[in-house]
Amino acid sequence: MGFKRTIQAIDTHSGIPMRVITGGVGHIPGASVLEKMRWLEANDDQLRKLVLREPRGYPAHCCNLLVPPSHPEADAGYIIMEQVEYPVMSGGNTISVVTVLLEMGILPMKEPVTELVLEAPAGLIRVRADCQNGKVKAVTFRNVPAFAAHLDAEIDVPHLGKVRVDVGWGGMFYVIADVRQFKGLELIPEHGREIARVSAMIRQAAIEQLPVAHPDYPGVGITISQLSGPTDDPRADWKNAVTMATGPLSWDDPNTWTGAIDRCPCGTGTCAKMAVLNAKGELPLGQDFRHQGILGTVFTGRLVDEARIGDRPAVVPTISGTSWIFGINTLVLDHDDPLPNGYTMGDIWA
């Protein structure tokens, strides 16, 4: 039986499902993984839509494509795909990629510790994987430098009023708001619909009112939002719910005031939060920061060094977390399928 596309993938989760494509995609040109990502976006964006939209995906779904690295130090490269963008970095996806590379035997596993270097679109990511009995028990990686772009900025959010926010870069630009500004709203799964609504509106208002820039990624702006607050769980220091966009937001259409909540504690979101706390003098270098996601799972971050991004002071974070394989998949596209890009529906998508 012949198909128009046949894609091999390993499905993982750290709360949120993160697919890793291991085969079925041809040569992607580019002198770096960043260039490969840009080529893919311009020339084969159908791949992202195919694997992330229905019927093969759903709103809270990410995907990674393994590619040959260009840097001589790197053991593997990967391109990150999400519902509306190609992020240059993602923490949870990095943890999942490492898990797949080692547990599926794509790269050799050494117990009790495997060290490797990955090439993300953002650059080289140095990784330590704690391994036991053929399993990856924990992944720790050194992320790209993070920084605070705005601190305690007041934005005017239609239908919500004045909201105080921070904006931090941790591999993506996050607008971060303390959830205690919204009466009755808690960072629990039962409040997921309202978390997504409020977060999407804050994101759009921040895009319109708070300019940001990264010297290495011209044109990349605020694309994601985080509600943040204290936790009474002794396993964690802080709690968050990150909401990813699943489509454009129009202030004239309340049906678009939504998104998909990241079910994991969010690696780059943790890095952005740590950069903001450090800029406020609330998180020093060398101190563990245990960040809890909406399902109660925890990523542990630490600021290990100072850096600069352009003329801005920055910090270098590490993130530790775990991902689990839950499926081995062959995704196909029938020649006669009338919906080759997948589809979205207004009941669960923006």
Angle between helices 267-279 and 91-103 (to 10 degrees): 140
Q: Give residue for tokens 């020093």.
A: 284
Query: Is residue 96 annotated as a catalytic residue, yes or no?
Result: no
Please list the alpha-helical segments (H only) found in 153-225: 192-209
Q: Which pair of tokens denotes residue 338?
A: 């009338």
Amino acid at 268: T
- For residue 182, CA distances in Å to 93, 126, 160, 229 come to 30, 39, 9, 11
Q: Which pair of tokens denotes residue 37?
A: 């990502």
**Which residue of the set 62, 264, 266, 271 is catalytic?**
266
**Which residue of the set 14, 62, 63, 90 is catalytic?**
90
Q: Give residue for tokens 């196909």.
A: 332
* Cis before 59? omega within 30: no
Query: Is residue 90 annotated as a catalytic residue, yes or no?
Result: yes
Q: Which pair of tokens denotes residue 52?
A: 């992330």
Residues tagged active-site: 90, 266
